[in-house]
Amino acid sequence: MDANKKIELSRHWELNWVLLRATLFALGVVLLGAGAGCSKEPGDKEPTVTVQAEAAEKKTIEHTIDAEALLFPLQQVAITPKITAPVHQFYVNRASKVHAGQLLAELENRDLAAASTESKGLYEQAEAAYATTTGASLPEEIQKASLEVEATQRALDAQQKVYSSRQDLFQQGAMPRKELDQAGVDLTNAKNQYQIAAKHLEAMKAIGEKQTLKSAAGQLQSAKGHYQGAEAQLSYSEIRSPINGVVTDRPLYPGETAAAGTPLLIVMDTSKVIAKSHIAQPDAASLKLGDEATLTIPGQEDKVGGKITVISPALDPNSTTVEVWVEATNSKQPLRPGTSVHITMLARTIKDAVTVPASAVLTGQDGATTVMVIGDDGRAHQTPVKVGVRQGEDIQISEGLKAGEKVVTAGAFGLPDKTKVKVEAEPPAGDEKPSAADQKAPADDKKDDK
């Protein structure tokens, strides 16, 4: 064998032997460490975990729903003129308080006033003509027909007397039968003439008089309509407030032209305001009309009370939320429409509710809620509970816990069931540990002194 190959083979065996010794040494160390860890001396004690705990209490808790809202006035009217005309005069300014029916502005209306005067004159003429037509004598044709009826009536009466006289004479034998029959024929003719005249008069009255009166009434109504239209046009030049409130906008000045359909004034009734908010459907289901609410206004310490007046029966299709209105009295005018506020709505009040701090409730990955109850054995027992209403830092336990039982409030996360625990005494009120910044402050002072 070559000498070089012998040297190389010798080095290879030496390297393998070193690696084998190192591996055996490391394995021995691991086995010794494991044996030492598994061994337990009879004097070793079970570890105790220090936690903070509080007892469950019975108290009155309120189910409230918080939401952000935007304030709106109780009523708002954008007053738009119906005619296009220059502004003659304004009688109010911005922030002026007004009442319903008050004259706020007047547009140029001289042409409308002249048209109204003309229409009024035509209406008065039509009234006089109608009175003359209805109160005057009947037309000439009706008068003739009436006279003819009167004449035939008198002829009929006279012929009736003649017939009655001849009938008496005939019965006495003083008159022949022929003359009595002639008197009867004359009486029948008189009756026929009277009936014809009466029917003619009736027809004249039914047609002639009716049409005459109808024509006069039509002229009167037409004149009245023109007059009322002119009065309405004139009234459109007077801008009046339909509600009580305050003027919030007046974009034009006297002399500028107000266009029909364009807002000339905006009046708001701010005696009350409405906070409109959108909340989730489950929260809305717990509310009802008349529930109390409070409004928190940015920059103001005092809260304003209100009541729920509207709960929309349908969901908003865009956000799938429910619109809720809270109405509040604004007598001192601290609430301004357009302000964003925070509203708290009281859904219900629960008396004698078992409550614990919210930090004591643990929620598992499956959504189950538990608390760690400290038993008489000094161990923390994981207890399933059913939570209810939360108010601030307190949460209601509706099932699984009784008042007086102690629950872990700090240190419960990751704590195994039945772990031995020690309750840490809470520091007295007002005693706080100095922060890191406070501890460094003296050193900083010394550095500054240098």
3-class SS letters over 302-370: CCEEEEEEEECCCCCCCCCCEEEEEEEECCCCCCCCCCEEEEEEEEEEEEEEEEEEHHHCEECCCCCEE
Give the SS3 label for residue 265. strand
Task: Specify the DSSP element, H or E, that contains 421.
Answer: strand 419-423
pLDDT, position 143? 73
Average pLDDT over residues 116-139: 79
Percent of the chain exceeding pLDDT 90 equals: 32
Q: Buried b / exposed e across 240-269, counting CB within 10 Å, b at 16+?
A: ebebbbbbbebebeeeeebeeeebbbbbbb
In this predicted structure, what is the pLDDT of residue 353?
87
Q: Who has greater pLDDT, 366 or 425? A: 366
Asked if the model's pLDDT at residue 12 lies above 90, the reply is no
What would the DSSP string read from start to end of 368-407?
-EEEEEE-TTSEEEEEEEEEEEEETTEEEEEES--TT-EE
Q: What is the pLDDT of residue 140?
A: 63
Among candidate residues 279, 253, 262, 234, the one with its CA nearest the CA of residue 64: 279
Residue 60 phi, psi (nearest 5): -85, 130
127: its two tokens: 């009234």
| CB neighbours of residue 61 within 10 Å | 22
Instruction: Check: CB of residue 375 under 8 Å from CB of residue 402.
Output: no
At residue 250 the predicted structure's pLDDT band, cuts being 50, 70 and 90, is very high
**23 has pLDDT over 80:** no
Fold that domain 81-109+237-263 belongs to in CATH:
OB fold (Dihydrolipoamide Acetyltransferase, E2P) (2.40.50)
φ/ψ (deg, to 5) at 83? -130, 160
Domain boundaries, the chain: 81-109+237-263, 110-230, 268-423
Q: What is the C-alpha to C-alpha distance for residues 226 and 116, in angstroms, rounded to an integer?
A: 9
Record the pTM: 0.57
> Tokens 């009486």 correspond to what residue?
187
Task: Tell me the sheet residues that pair with 384.
Answer: 370
Query: How far is it, in rounded angstroms, from Cα 155 to Cα 140?
Result: 22
DSSP character string of 137-157: PPPHHHHHHHHHHHHHHHHHH
CATH H-level, domain 268-423: superfamily: Efflux pump adaptor protein, beta barrel domain (2.40.30.170)
pLDDT, mean over the chain: 81
List the one residue out of 213, 211, 204 whose CA is nearest residue 143. Answer: 204
Per-residue HEC secondary structure of 214-258 comes to HHHHHHHHHHHHHHHHHHHHHHCCEEECCCCEEEEECCCCCCCEE
Which residue spans within 3-102 are E strands per DSSP? 49-55, 57-79, 85-90, 97-98
Decide if pLDDT at 16 tops 70. no
Give tens-digit pLDDT for 315-352: 988 888 999 999 999 887 778 899 999 999 988 888 88
